[in-house]
Amino acid sequence: MHAGPRTTPGGRTVVVTGGTRGIGAAVARRFAADGDEVTVADLHTDGVEDTLPRGIRAVTVDVTRDCEVRSLLAQFARVDVLVNAAGVIARDREYEIDAFERVVAVNLTAAMRCCLAAREALAAAPHGCIVNVASMLSFFGGPRVPAYSASKGGVVQLTKALAVAWAREGIRVNAVAPGWIRTGLTDDVQANDEANRRIITRTPMRRWGEAGEVAGAVAFLAGADAAFVTGTVLAVDGGYLAA
């Protein structure tokens, strides 16, 4: 088992899937701001390089393809932090089996694929850790998004299972569960006045969350202050689940 001081931000090797947009992008920028070297792996990287701050590079990767994921992770002798933020949603279409399978493949199976591919490099780091992006829908059903709900519920159980399985290798595994966050995935909901009103009324803090607030929670779980935290799911939802 690993012992000694925990790794502090700065100089770490960080890999973020789905890191060019939304929560993933905010996470990547937070780690870069902390002085870490960040690689974002995403299917959509055209034109992204010119907009990235120092410390972030973008690599085109389809996380549903094993060969591409393994090729990416094989580049690193050591990975300090892996963040599985790649995710898709297909509201009202997830009752079609093709859409259902696609959502589960990206949100859940790909997270496991990335964890497996990064395992050796994570174990080689002094204090390797994984942070998965779950959801408030990990805990209750979304009638318009059965695949998204099922996949994010699976992310929570995957997080707990790997935390127990890999603890002796010095790898911590945690997750964040965002509530209603302003990102591209929620654009259509934000634009719906009635839905927007219901969300704000139901959220005790009476507002939407920002991607940077989720990034802050991820940074905590990947940092020294969470040295004895593994198998945990941290809700970042303005009190939505508590209400």
Residues with active-site annotation: 148
Helix, strand counts (H, E) of the chain: 8, 9
Instruction: State phi, psi for 95 to the nearest 5 degrees.
Output: -85, -10
- Quick one: tokens of 129? 């850790």
- Least Cα distance to 155 among 110, 117, 97 occurs for 110
What residues pair up with 130 in beta bridges, in sequence order? 82, 173
Give per-residue burial for 89-111: e unless 16+ CB within 10 Å, then b. Answer: bbeeebeeeebbebbbbbbbbbb
Q: What are the angstrom distances between the C-alpha of 61 and each of 14, 51, 182, 183?
A: 16, 18, 25, 21
- Least Cα distance to 15 among 65, 70, 93 occurs for 70
Residue 177 · residue 150 · CB < 8 Å: no
Q: Are strands 233-236 and 81-84 parallel, antiparallel or unpaired?
A: unpaired
- Quick one: tokens of 230? 């593994």
